[in-house]
Amino acid sequence: MSQEIQAINRVREQARMQVEDLNGFDYGAPAELFPSRNKKGRGQISYKRFDTAAEALRYAIETIPSSALLGIYLEVDETRFGQNEIRYLYESAAYPLQRPVTAS
């Protein structure tokens, strides 16, 4: 098997494991939200600690401007989740908190 095929298979396996991790995500675990390392986005948010990951997700999506989400990450049980994972977890049917009602 070529190195390119092996690399593709490793990436697919990592992606599969990451999705499984998100499906078993513990919304009740303590969480930390870290700001972007980008100097432009850093001033808009600072490090915050939350009692639950659900509260951290709510804060990230509902409070922080979407332009400032680039580069931030959520850490739960020593696992880091980036902008895309944060959105996925917030939008998941398993998300335990009520989301704001949007006008249609």
pLDDT in tens, 9-63: 665 566 556 555 556 788 999 999 998 776 554 456 789 999 999 999 999 999 9
Fill in the amino acid letter for 60.
A
pLDDT in tens, 62-74: 999 888 888 899 9
Q: DSSP class of residue 68?
A: G
pLDDT in the model for residue 41 = 47
Query: Which residue pairs from 45-51 have beta carbons closer than 8 angstroms and sit at least 24 positions apart in sequence?
Result: 45/72
The answer to whether 56 and 32 have CB atoms below 8 angstroms apart is: yes
